Amino acid sequence: MTTTTPDLPEARQARQPKARATKSKRAPRRSWVKTVRKDWQLYSLAIAPLLFFAVFRYLPMIGNVIAFRFYQAGGPIFGTQWVGLYYFDQVVHDPNFWAVFKNTVILGGLSLIIGFPLPIILALLLNEVINGKAKRLVQSISYLPHFLSSVVVAALMLNGLQSSGIVNEVIGWFGHSPIIFMSDPNWYRPVYVASEIWQYTGWGTILYLAALTTVDAQLYEASMIDGANRWKQTWHVTLPAIRPTMMVVLILNVGQFMQVGFQKILLTYNVDTYPTADVISTYLYRVGIQTGNFSYAAMVGLFESVIGLALVLGINALSRRFVGSGLW
């Protein structure tokens, strides 16, 4: 015969301190106010960047309202009359806009397709260099063009590629007649893409070289035991390890896909090269600043921004689905 011990109040009271002791072991959650008060020195470092984005990025977005209103310089800041989608209809039916849109897509696409993999390839090659002095020399030479302003690069392009420039001097040594690169619309796109590669490829290797230092050396040792050569190690170990960095850089580059270098094109194009060199940013400058059609230019800029946002959201979604990582 089994007996059961009644649950007396004294027994319940004996168990209660243990329960309280168990609950007291959990660290109390601090409110965000206390967290900010404790680490206010660290949070204060974010004040300047937040102010910068608030003043120069988000506050100007209010001006997009003039894309839907009739605005004239010297009038009210938000225009005088609501016109709705009037300027959007003008943009859609403007053949000049679609011509510059095509040029923007071509120049941006060529710069992205050719310029994106080159920093990865250069970083992989530099990672294989054993001689430290030679590696630092190549890095310094490849980084240098990034520190040149667009004005300097444009001057080098105009002076080096003119009829009496150094490039045509070399061409003349082989018996060919001079080529006027900067006045030929067929040559402008290759010249522009080549200048972008020369200026930004070396600088783009910094992120990939930093990512390569985080690859676990044991993975290379295991692949060597399995008989993998350097090419297979690069393909099956190195590239998968830096894939998240590659996707982040790709998403950021796609975000700037529609914003093809305004300064360089503005300084190097001319009336002869308009058919292939004129892009949305330079078209905005001529229509908005030179002719004073601010509402139409605002609608073109808004249209460009919406396309850029759609591209970023799309490539980020594809990256998270097929690669497993994204910008957010």
Q: How many other C-beta atoms lie within 10 A of the C-beta of residue 118? A: 15
Distance in angstroms (rounded) separating the CA atoms of residues 309 and 162: 38
The token pair at 190 is: 């290759």
pLDDT above 50 for 192: yes
The pLDDT-based confidence of 43 (bands split at 50, 70, 90) is: confident
Determine the pLDDT at residue 2.
47
The pLDDT value given to residue 1: 46
Which residue(s) pair with 70 in the sheet? 81
Q: Do the beta carbons of residue 296 and residue 87 sit within 8 Å?
A: yes
Tell me: the pLDDT tens digits for 83-141? 999 999 999 999 999 999 999 999 999 999 999 999 999 999 998 888 889 999 999 99
Q: What is the mean pLDDT of the chain?
A: 86
Contact 290, 58 (CB under 8 A): no
Instruction: Classify 72 as helix, strand or coil.
Output: coil
Beta strands (DSSP E) in the chain are 69-70, 81-82
Proportion of the chain above pLDDT 90, given as a percent: 39
Identify the pLDDT of residue 114. Answer: 92
CATH 1.10.3720.10 fits 82-322, yes or no: yes
Q: Is the pTM of this model over 0.85?
A: no
- Calculate mean pLDDT across residues 139-145: 92
Beta-carbon count within 10 A of 73 CB = 6
Smallest CA-to-CA distance from 119 within 257, 290, 253 is with 253
Q: Is the pLDDT of residue 297 over 80?
A: yes
How far, in Å, are 98, 104, 147, 278 from residue 274 at the CA level?
13, 12, 28, 5
Query: Residue for token digits 């190097």?
Result: 268
Place 292 in a pLDDT band, splitting at 50, 70 and 90: confident
Domain boundaries, the chain: 82-322
* Residue 207: closest CA among 303, 306, 122: 122
State the Cα–Cα distance between residues 15 and 21, nearest whole angstrom: 10
Sign of the CA dihedral 291, 296, 302, 305? negative
Look up residue 246 and give its amino acid: M
Q: How confident is the model at residue 27 (pLDDT cuts 50, 70, 90)?
A: low
What pLDDT sits at residue 110?
92
Looking at residue 37, its pLDDT comes to: 84
* Main-chain dihedrals φ then ψ at residue 81, nearest 5 degrees: -150, 135
Q: What is the pLDDT of residue 30?
A: 65
Of 190, 198, 203, 204, the closest CA to residue 116 belongs to: 204
Angle at 67 (CA atoms; ends 287, 94), nearest 5 degrees? 50
**How far is C-alpha 34 from the geometric centre of its chain's CA atoms?**
36
SS3 per-residue string spanning 120-144: HHHHHHHHHCCCHHHHHHHHHHHHH
CA nearest 98: which of 278, 314, 267? 278
**CA neighbours closer than 13 Å in the CB half-sphere of residue 60:** 9
Tokens of 290: 């030179």
Asked if residues 258 and 304 have their Cβ atoms less than 8 Å apart, the reply is: yes
The pLDDT value given to residue 15 = 52
DSSP 69: E
pLDDT band at 143 (very low <50, low <70, confident <90, very high): very high
Mean pLDDT for 7-26 is 50
